[in-house]
């Protein structure tokens, strides 16, 4: 087993049996009646928890939970920044049993806190990597309106690509507008034609009704005439006439065959 | 008999119809037949004068035989021959007589058709008479409830008025057209007629009339909710503001291009005259209106 392994094992064992560590407990108890140390300890534990959560978030696969965790981290950071202000006030207060050097160190510690809080990764740092071209100030999770100079510089950097895109967008929009104008003119013409056709058809409806009645009358007349014609024809073709027809036909055939025989 | 000389036929027919000592009653039947044949013969021989007379007499014969339909048909033939001769008065008379005969038959459509034919012939020669004929034709159709058929007549009459530059008459006629369209629920034609009337008034520099016309027409619901109404309001707004570009743009728009081509020609020529003068008129008009409101 290497030294490092030993160290790790020792650390984990100590953490496990912390409550039996008298020195540490005394230290914690000692700071129980000191508001500053109490608050300071609370802030430190919060920072540790936030760091832990951020490591969890970076390992998380599900994007929604990543987002939720990052939001929580950001909220914690904001709260902690407020607490830092309180700590600053407390740091200046004189507490009994505290040396002058310790007072100075306290204020230093308080000053160091905001940077530590800001350094907690909360997802905006990773987002900065994704959108190309963002400057370093993007790692700040807070929204800034009308902010300082380097916001402008990164804005400028962006329009290098996006201005071209915007131009193309405008061109395409203009072409679409032209096309739509042409379509609208065509539709106007169609509407006019359709209306006129509508009125023309309305005009022709009564005319066609008239034609309908007249044609009905004509067909009825025709039917009647046909029936009468049929009667007349059948009368003509009665059986009596039919026999006479056959006899005459036979006579003619006889004469023809006689002539044929003579000529042959 | 068909091959004989038409002159002889006429002479024979005349003899049949003239009353004398030997003849107590005229034989119209055979006379009419002879007259028809003579007329056809003369027409083939391109003798318009004699043919016309023959057809006149044939028509009279048919009347005597109490068949107004045939009489009217002969009258029309006589009229077309008169047109070839260029006797415009006779043309008008003949067509009117034909129309009356058709009316006797109870057929209004052929009656108005006869008048329309006459009007079309007389458009160039005697336009006032033509307009009269058109108006009468429209009246006949409207009496019979066939307003739909009258639209073409209204269009033709309007174009004649505009050719004669009688713009107020044209606009009035267009409003009558709108009324006819209203009766037969032809909303599109109605709106187009009203828009055309407004354009005609504007062309004639009569801005007040145009506005009055527009106000009257806006009372009508079908016109109020139509494209033509929007177009008219834009046009009038252009006039009140004296904006020539706006007026030109509206005149080029598709709504105006769907109107009758005579009206389109007028619209393209807008604005005529001094638009700014109209603008000041309109402004004055508005001031008086405000005073009235205060009182």
CATH, residue B256? 1.25.40.10
CA nearest to B258 within chain A: A192
- B49-76 tens-digit pLDDT: 888 988 998 898 898 888 999 999 999 9
- B92-132 tens-digit pLDDT: 999 999 999 999 988 889 999 999 999 998 988 889 999 99
Are B112 and B196 in the same domain?
Answer: no
Q: What is the mean pLDDT of residues B204-220?
A: 87
CA nearest to B227 within chain A: A188
* B76/chain A closest Cα distance in angstroms: 24
What pLDDT is attached to residue B115? 92
Q: Looking at A124, A141, A159, which one is the last position of a domain? A: A124
Q: Is the pLDDT of residue B287 over 70?
A: no
- Output DSSP code: residue B165: T
Of residues B271 and B88, the one with the higher pLDDT is B88
- B37-47 tens-digit pLDDT: 888 988 888 88
Ranking A5-14, A47-56, B150-159 by mean pLDDT, the lowest is: A47-56
- A182-221 tens-digit pLDDT: 999 999 999 999 999 999 999 999 999 999 999 999 999 9
CATH number of B84's domain: 1.25.40
Q: Looking at A124, A140, A165, which one is the last position of a domain? A: A124
Evaluate whether residue B241 is within a structural domain: yes
Q: Is the pLDDT of residue A9 over 50?
A: yes
Evaluate whether residue A85 is within a structural domain: yes
Q: Is the pTM of this model over 0.95?
A: no
CA-angle at B247, arms to B246 and B252, nearest 5°: 95
What is d(CA B135, CA B150) in angstroms, rounded to the nearest whole number? 10
Of residues A52 and A190, the one with the higher pLDDT is A190
Q: Which domain holds residue A78?
A: 34-124
What pLDDT is attached to residue A134? 46
A-chain CB neighbours of B184 within 8 Å are 202
Does any CB of chain A come closer than 8 Å to the CB of residue B258?
A: yes
Q: Looking at A109, A124, A139, which one is the last position of a domain? A: A124
What pLDDT is attached to residue A55? 87
Of residues B175 and A158, the one with the higher pLDDT is B175
What pLDDT is attached to residue A176? 96
- B13-37 tens-digit pLDDT: 888 888 777 777 778 888 888 888 8
Evaluate whether residue A57 is within a structural domain: yes
Task: Please state the separation of Cα A198 from the chain's center in Å.
Answer: 44
CA nearest to B190 within chain A: A199
Q: Do B148 and A202 touch (CB under 8 A)?
A: yes
Are B192 and B256 in the same domain?
Answer: yes
Evaluate whether residue B50 is within a structural domain: no
Evaluate whether residue B47 is within a structural domain: no
Ranking A27-41, A238-252, B58-72 by mean pLDDT, the lowest is: A27-41
CB B98 within 8 A of CB B107: no
Evaluate whether residue B13 is within a structural domain: no
Chain A interface mutation, best of B145, B187, B188, highest count of A Cβ atoms under 10 Å: B188
Ranking A35-39, A208-212, B57-61, B279-283 by mean pLDDT, the lowest is: B279-283
Q: Do A192 and B258 touch (CB under 8 A)?
A: yes
What pLDDT is attached to residue B10? 86
What pLDDT is attached to residue B291? 60
Are B196 and B285 in the same domain?
Answer: yes
Query: Given the structure tokens 């607490």, which residue do they identify?
Result: A83
Does any CB of chain A come closer than 8 Å to the CB of residue B149?
A: yes
Q: What is the mean pLDDT of residues A59-83?
A: 81
What pLDDT is attached to residue A170? 95
Q: What is the mean pLDDT of residues A212-234?
A: 95
CA nearest to A201 within chain B: B148
Q: Is the pLDDT of residue B251 over 80?
A: yes
- Quote ipTM for the complex: 0.78
Q: Is the dihedral of CA A59, A63, A68, A71 positive or negative?
A: positive
Are B132 and B182 in the same domain?
Answer: no
What pLDDT is attached to residue A129? 44
- State both tokens at A194: 């359709």
What pLDDT is attached to residue B294? 63
Q: What is the mean pLDDT of residues A109-135?
A: 64
Q: What is the mean pLDDT of residues A49-73?
A: 82
Considering chain B, what is the average pLDDT of its residues? Answer: 86
What pLDDT is attached to residue B252? 87
Q: What is the band of A126 on the pLDDT scale with cuts at 50, 70, 90?
A: very low
What pLDDT is attached to residue A259? 95
Residues of A with a Cβ under 8 Å from any B Cβ are 185, 188-189, 192, 195-196, 198-199, 202-203
CA nearest to B186 within chain A: A199
What is d(CA B225, CA B230) in angstroms, rounded to the nearest whole number? 8
What pLDDT is attached to residue A130? 45
What is d(CA A42, CA A31) in angstroms, rounded to the nearest whole number? 11
Q: Do B188 and A199 touch (CB under 8 A)?
A: yes
CA nearest to A187 within chain B: B254
Q: Is the pLDDT of residue A99 over 80?
A: no
Evaluate whether residue B43 is within a structural domain: no
Q: Is the pLDDT of residue A144 over 50?
A: yes
Q: Which domain holds residue B128?
A: 57-144
Are B120 and B179 in the same domain?
Answer: no
Element holding B130 (H helix, E strand): helix B127-143
Of residues A94 and B47, the one with the higher pLDDT is B47
CB A117 within 8 A of CB A47: yes
A-chain CB neighbours of B151 within 8 Å are 203
Q: Is the pLDDT of residue A67 over 50?
A: yes
* B148/chain A closest Cα distance in angstroms: 6
Evaluate whether residue B113 is within a structural domain: yes
Nearest to A196 by CA among B266, B192, B177, B217: B192
What pLDDT is attached to residue A133? 42
Does any CB of chain A come closer than 8 Å to the CB of residue B159?
A: no
A-chain CB neighbours of B188 within 8 Å are 195-196, 198-199
Evaluate whether residue A242 is within a structural domain: yes
CA nearest to B150 within chain A: A203
Are B138 and B178 in the same domain?
Answer: no
Of A188, A196, A203, the CB nearest to B254: A188
SS3 for B25? coil
Does any CB of chain A come closer than 8 Å to the CB of residue B184?
A: yes
Evaluate whether residue B46 is within a structural domain: no
Ranking A47-51, A96-100, A147-151, B160-164 by mean pLDDT, the lowest is: A147-151
Does any CB of chain A come closer than 8 Å to the CB of residue B188?
A: yes
B-chain CB neighbours of A192 within 8 Å are 254, 258
Ranking A248-257, B21-30, B247-256 by mean pLDDT, the lowest is: B21-30
Domain count, chain A: 2
Beta strands per DSSP E along B142-281: none
What pLDDT is attached to residue A245? 87
What pLDDT is attached to residue A148? 57
Are B132 and B187 in the same domain?
Answer: no
What pLDDT is attached to residue B159? 92
Ranking A77-81, B133-137, B181-185 by mean pLDDT, the lowest is: A77-81
Are B127 and B185 in the same domain?
Answer: no
Q: Is the pLDDT of residue A131 over 50?
A: no
- State both tokens at A249: 């036909």
* A138/chain B closest Cα distance in angstroms: 52
Q: What percent of chain B has pLDDT over 90?
A: 25
Considering chain A, what is the average pLDDT of its residues? Answer: 81
Evaluate whether residue B40 is within a structural domain: no
Q: Do A203 and B148 touch (CB under 8 A)?
A: yes
CA nearest to B253 within chain A: A185
What pLDDT is attached to residue A132? 43
- State both tokens at B188: 């599109």
- State both tokens at B112: 């108005």
What pLDDT is attached to residue A142? 67
B-chain CB neighbours of A199 within 8 Å are 148, 186, 188-189
B237 C-beta neighbours (distance < 10 Å), count: 13
Q: Do A189 and B189 touch (CB under 8 A)?
A: no
* A185/chain B closest Cα distance in angstroms: 7
Q: What percent of chain A has pLDDT over 70?
A: 80
DSSP 3-state percent helix, strand, coil across chain B (nearest 5)? 80, 0, 20
Does any CB of chain A come closer than 8 Å to the CB of residue B189?
A: yes
Q: What is the mean pLDDT of residues A230-256?
A: 87
Q: Looking at B144, B160, B182, which one is the last position of a domain? A: B144
Evaluate whether residue A232 is within a structural domain: yes
Domain count, chain B: 2
Q: Is the pLDDT of residue B295 over 70?
A: no
């Amino acid at each position: 087993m290497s030294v490092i392994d030993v160290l790790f094992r020792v650390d984990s064992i100590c953490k496990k049996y912390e409550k039996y560590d008298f020195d540490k407990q005394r230290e914690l108890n000692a700071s129980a009646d000191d508001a500053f140390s109490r608050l300071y300890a609370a802030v430190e534990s919060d920072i540790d928890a936030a760091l832990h959560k951020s490591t969890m978030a970076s390992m998380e696969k599900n994007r929604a939970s990543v987002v939720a965790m990052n939001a929580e981290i950001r909220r914690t950071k904001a709260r902690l920044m407020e607490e830092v202000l309180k700590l600053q006030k407390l740091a200046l207060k004189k507490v009994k049993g505290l040396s002058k050097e310790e007072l100075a160190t306290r204020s230093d510690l308080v000053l160091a806190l905001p940077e530590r809080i800001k350094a907690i990764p909360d997802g905006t740092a990773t987002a900065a990597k994704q959108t190309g071209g963002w400057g370093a100030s993007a790692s700040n999770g807070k929204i800034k309106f009308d902010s300082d100079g380097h916001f402008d510089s990164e804005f400028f950097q962006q329009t290098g690509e996006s201005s071209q895109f915007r131009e193309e967008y405008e061109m395409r929009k203009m072409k679409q507008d032209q096309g739509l104008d042409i379509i609208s003119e065509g539709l106007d013409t169609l509407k006019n034609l359709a209306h006129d056709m509508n009125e023309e058809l309305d005009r022709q409806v009564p005319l066609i009704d008239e034609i309908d009645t007249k044609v009905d009358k004509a067909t009825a007349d025709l039917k009647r005439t046909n029936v009468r014609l049929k009667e007349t024809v059948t009368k003509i073709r009665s059986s009596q006439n039919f026999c006479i027809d056959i006899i005459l036909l036979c006579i003619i055939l006889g004469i023809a065959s006689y002539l044929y025989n003579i000529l042959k | 008999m068909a091959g004989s000389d038409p002159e002889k036929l006429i002479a024979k027919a005349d003899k049949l119809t003239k009353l004398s000592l030997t003849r107590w009653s005229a034989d119209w039947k055979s006379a009419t037949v002879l007259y028809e044949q003579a007329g056809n013969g003369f027409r083939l021989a391109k003798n318009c004068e004699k043919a016309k007379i023959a057809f006149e007499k044939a028509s009279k014969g048919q009347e005597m035989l109490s068949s107004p339909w045939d009489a009217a048909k002969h009258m029309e033939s006589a009229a077309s021959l008169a047109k070839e001769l260029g006797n415009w008065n006779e043309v008008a008379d003949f067509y009117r007589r034909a129309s009356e005969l058709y009316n006797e038959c109870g057929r209004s459509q052929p009656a108005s058709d006869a008048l329309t034919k006459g009007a079309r012939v007389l458009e160039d020669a005697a336009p006032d008479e033509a307009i009269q004929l058109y108006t009468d034709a429209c009246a006949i159709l409207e009496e019979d409830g066939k307003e739909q058929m009258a639209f073409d007549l209204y269009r033709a009459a309007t174009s004649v008025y505009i050719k004669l530059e009688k713009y107020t008459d044209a606009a009035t006629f267009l409003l009558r057209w709108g009324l006819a369209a209203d009766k037969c629920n032809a909303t599109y034609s109605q709106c187009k007629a009203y828009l055309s009337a407004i354009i005609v008034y504007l062309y004639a520099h009569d801005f007040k009339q145009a506005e009055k016309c527009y106000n009257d027409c806006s009372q009508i619901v079908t016109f109020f909710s139509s494209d033509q109404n929007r177009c008219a309001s834009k046009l009038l707004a252009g006039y009140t503001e004296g904006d020539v570009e706006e007026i030109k743009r509206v005149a080029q728009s598709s709504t105006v291009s769907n109107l009758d081509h005579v009206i389109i020609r007028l619209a393209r020529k807008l604005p005529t005259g001094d638009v700014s003068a109209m603008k000041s008129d309109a402004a004055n008009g508005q001031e008086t209106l405000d005073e009235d409101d205060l009182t």
